[in-house]
Amino acid sequence: MGSFFIFKVNMNNKGPIGIFDSGIGGTSIWKEVHSLLPWEDTLYLADSKYAPYGTRSKSEIIALSRKNTEFLIHAGCKIIIVACNTATTNAIQELRNSYDIPIIGIEPAIKPAALRTLNKSIGILATRGTLSSDLFHKTSKTFTKDIEVVEVVGEGLVTLIEQGYIDSEEIIELLNTYMQPMINARIDYLVLGCTHYPYLIPILKKILPQNVTIIDSGEAVAKQTKAILNANNLLVNVSRVPSLRFYTNAEIAPLKFLLQDYSDAIEISYKDF
């Protein structure tokens, strides 16, 4: 779909921060954002009905990302966080070309891993959609010139996490298989290139040698969000109780499970979007 017009948005600091992901994984980003910006209202969309995005075509990912972005804009959001590597690497340019609102994306943290690796070997676990995107290739090429990069598609992981099987035998088995080529290549950094994967860190730590550092981009996204809100005079900087809403277009239970520590402060509901 081409972009022929820019969708104008009236922003003020009263709107919530809008966040979307193909499902519940982007809550790993929401947690970082809420921790850094505790007074801000947030509205999170879990597009679980259409997950996983990672096996879809670029044009499908763009169409779904537009649908979510428009929902959040109509709900009065002042900034959009694309809390999904797959949607960012495939659709962020189209979104930025179409909507006149700050849009923050998330990409695999290749740069810090490449700068810090002592073994000159890093691993990247991400979806097929992310690993095959032009944006990912471009970033990877820029930062990993003399470094071995082991890219592995986390086939099946998003679907299992969406179904609530985070601690399952099936996930452990898949991760054992996916980590093998990385262990063989003596990686010392593992980049999690999907916002669902931080929930797998306890299992990954058991599988990987102790010298492997696991990194994701959650904190960086939260800091970037704060900086952009500040630069646009959109930051809420008075202490207040925020409205923290979550909408899912599928089962509520897996989302509730991941957010159980926040149950007193948040509102989760089903919405058909």
Task: List, by residue number, the catalytic residues.
Answer: 84, 194
For residues 104 and 82, is the Cβ–Cβ distance under 8 A? yes
CA distance 160 to 164: 6
Cβ-closest position to ligand DGL: 54
Query: Measured from the CB atom, is 11 or 51 closer to ligand DGL?
Result: 51
Is residue 52 reached through a cis peptide bond, with omega within 30 degrees of 0 on the bond before it? Answer: yes
Please, what is the minimum distance in Å from the beta carbon of residue 170 to ligand DGL?
A: 17
Burial class (CB in 10 A: 0-12, 13-18, 19+), 32: buried
Please, what is the minimum distance in Å from the beta carbon of residue 209 to ligand DGL?
A: 25
DSSP state of 2: -
Query: Measured from the CB atom, is 11 or 82 closer to ligand DGL?
Result: 82
For residues 129 and 195, is the Cβ–Cβ distance under 8 A? no
The CA-to-CA distance between both ends of the chain, in Å, stands at 20
Query: Measured from the CB atom, is 48 or 121 closer to ligand DGL?
Result: 48
CA distance 164 to 253: 8
For residues 89 and 27, is the Cβ–Cβ distance under 8 A? no
Please, what is the minimum distance in Å from the beta carbon of residue 243 to ligand DGL?
A: 24
Query: Measured from the CB atom, is 28 or 117 closer to ligand DGL?
Result: 28
Query: Measured from the CB atom, is 125 or 236 closer to ligand DGL?
Result: 125
Please, what is the minimum distance in Å from the beta carbon of residue 73 to ligand DGL?
A: 21
Please, what is the minimum distance in Å from the beta carbon of residue 146 to ligand DGL?
A: 27
Binding site residues, ligand DGL, CB under 6 A:
21-23, 25-26, 51-54, 84-86, 127, 130, 158, 194-196
CA distance 181 to 155: 15
For residues 80 and 101, is the Cβ–Cβ distance under 8 A? yes
CA distance 269 to 83: 19
